[in-house]
Structure 1
């Protein structure tokens, strides 16, 4: 049983709080992604799980055992780093074999275990090469092979794809997802890339300033963000957020009017909607104004307006064309709108 629990975890360096009151219950075989901007506390959280950082307060439980005071080598955890961490003087085979030697696994088991890992990361043709003779993607696969050569209780992955180019990220991301589904090992994955989080995770933990902002499935995080931070961090492009007023269910802002919102809330409000949930229209739209930019994305065209101090984007069909400064209307169905408190950023539930 590889259930991992973090209870009331705090991490401080003097007066600076890196992680505050963090509580997580990670199920056996779950793929959990810690997502957030640089400095949000996600890597610190991972390092505390690994035993590379001490916990100021709280408990980390692996199964039923509190592991706060166990050194990293006694936690039965494998970690994949952003920097690969390969031994330059060792071949691919020996790099993958190294954890077995350290843990004094009987030598007669090494070859079978190493070859199993080599096959899983598709490195059969590179076993005798050294890291300097490999591409970035191949080096990352060696690091993955080294992590999976024995079946640990937990995998920890700290931004393992950030050194790869865009094409390699896509293929390696798919390989990580496939490996985890086959190995069925509890995995905690750290990234600042929301696409990685959405495509890999069973659940996503969105963090900011050392605190959890929302925990949920990728669908929950995307469709019902808990606050404006999550709304603006998840999605490409991010959710449009427009400050205005709502009275009697009608939202108004410069160049915008949306009627029929089912809420008793009145006064200042932030309205949000996803670019792909709206569309351009011929006339009488909920947003009207001069086009700020037109971007052909291949499968769609992105039309952007400047609305007050913000840019508002709508995706439409790939054949749509408009000129800069041309007056265009946008259709924003009331059922796709989200409301947030402009002071706290918290989500306002619609009736």
Structure 2
């Protein structure tokens, strides 16, 4: 069993706080994604679990055992790096085999283990090649196979797809998703890409400035972001956020008036998702403004308008045609509105 517990874990360098009071239990066989912008503490958290960074405060337990003082090699974790970290002088077969040799695994089992791991990531035809003869996607699959061959209790993956082009990212992401299902090993995955987080995770931890902002399933975080930061980070496009004021149940901002809302009077941030809103053909929508830009996405047309300093958007049918500067009316029903405190960004209401 590879349940991982982080008990009030922190990392500091002098007065700088890298990770602050991280407290979470990761279930056995769970696929957990640490998500956030650069510098938020997600990679530092993973490196502390791996033993590559010392913990300043708190405890890390793997399988019920405190591992703070254990060397990385004694924690039974396998890490996949963004940079692949392959040995250029070895062919693919020997790169995959390397962890078995280092750990003194019975040599009679090496061939079977290597070929099983290579088959899982579809590398059987490349075992004789050197890393320099491989594409970026193939090199990343070698790194995955090298992690798999060890049969660890925990997989740690640090932005493994960030060096790949868009098409390869999609196919390799699908491969990782299938592998996690097939191997059923506790996995912690670091990324700044919210699409990776939404598609791969059982649970997502959203981080900012070393502090956990929200923990939940992708659906929970998408449907009920805990604060304006999470709302702005999750979704493609991200949630539209408008700064305005609430008075007597009516929210107003430049070009915006939404009535019948339940929130205290005063400054407020209101959010909605582009796919939840629609164009009001009768002109009686809650947002009325000239078109700032149109983007044809293939399956839809994204229309953006300016509200104060913000650009907010709505998804229209792919056949929709208009010109920049044309007036549009956007329907934003009450039930799709998310309300956030203007000062600290905390969610208001359910």
State the TM-score bracket (shorter-chain normalisation): over 0.9
Shift in Å at residue 329 of structure 1? 0.4
Give the match for residue 35 of structure 1.
35
Equivalent residue runs for 1:200-211 within 5 Å: 200-211=200-211
Give the match for residue 311 of structure 1.
311
Give the match for residue 12 of structure 1.
12
Shift in Å at residue 135 of structure 1? 0.5
Give the match for residue 233 of structure 2.
233
Give the match for residue 296 of structure 1.
296
Q: Decide whether the 8 Å contact of 2:257 with 2:286 is kept in 1.
A: yes
CA RMSD of superposed structures (Å)? 0.7
Give the match for residue 45 of structure 1.
45
Q: Unaligned 5+ residue runs, structure 1?
A: none
Question: Aligned to 1:295, what secondary structure does the other structure show?
Answer: strand
**For each residue in 1:86-135, what CA deviation from the matched residue of structure 2 results, as whole angstroms up to 9, or x when unmatched?**
00010111000000001100000111111110111111100110100111
Partner Cα distance (1:133, 1:343) in 2:
54
**For each residue in 1:173-230, what CA deviation from the matched residue of structure 2 results, as whole angstroms up to 9, or x when unmatched?**
0000100100000000000000000000000000000000000000011110000100
Give the match for residue 250 of structure 2.
250
Question: Aligned to 1:225, what secondary structure does the other structure show?
Answer: coil
Q: Decide whether the 8 Å contact of 2:31 with 2:187 is kept in 1.
A: yes
Shift in Å at residue 150 of structure 1? 2.4
Deviates more, 1:243-252 or 1:99-108: 243-252
Question: Aligned to 2:108, what secondary structure does the other structure show?
Answer: helix
Question: Aligned to 1:55, what secondary structure does the other structure show?
Answer: coil
Partner Cα distance (2:263, 2:6) in 1:
38
- The normalised TM-score by structure 2 is 0.99
Tell me whether 1:269 sits opposite 2:268 in the alignment.
Answer: yes
Give the match for residue 188 of structure 2.
188
Partner Cα distance (1:118, 1:295) in 2:
42
**For each residue in 1:123-166, what CA deviation from the matched residue of structure 2 results, as whole angstroms up to 9, or x when unmatched?**
11001101001110000000000000021010000000000000
Partner Cα distance (2:126, 2:331) in 1:
55
Partner Cα distance (1:241, 1:124) in 2:
49
Tell me whether 1:286 sits opposite 2:286 in the alignment.
Answer: yes
Equivalent residue runs for 1:1-351 within 5 Å: 1-261=1-261, 263-282=262-281, 283-350=283-350
Question: Aligned to 2:129, what secondary structure does the other structure show?
Answer: coil
Question: Aligned to 2:96, what secondary structure does the other structure show?
Answer: helix
Query: Number of matched residues?
Result: 349
Shift in Å at residue 248 of structure 1? 2.5
Q: Decide whether the 8 Å contact of 2:246 with 2:263 is kept in 1.
A: no
Question: Aligned to 2:275, what secondary structure does the other structure show?
Answer: helix
Shift in Å at residue 264 of structure 1? 4.3
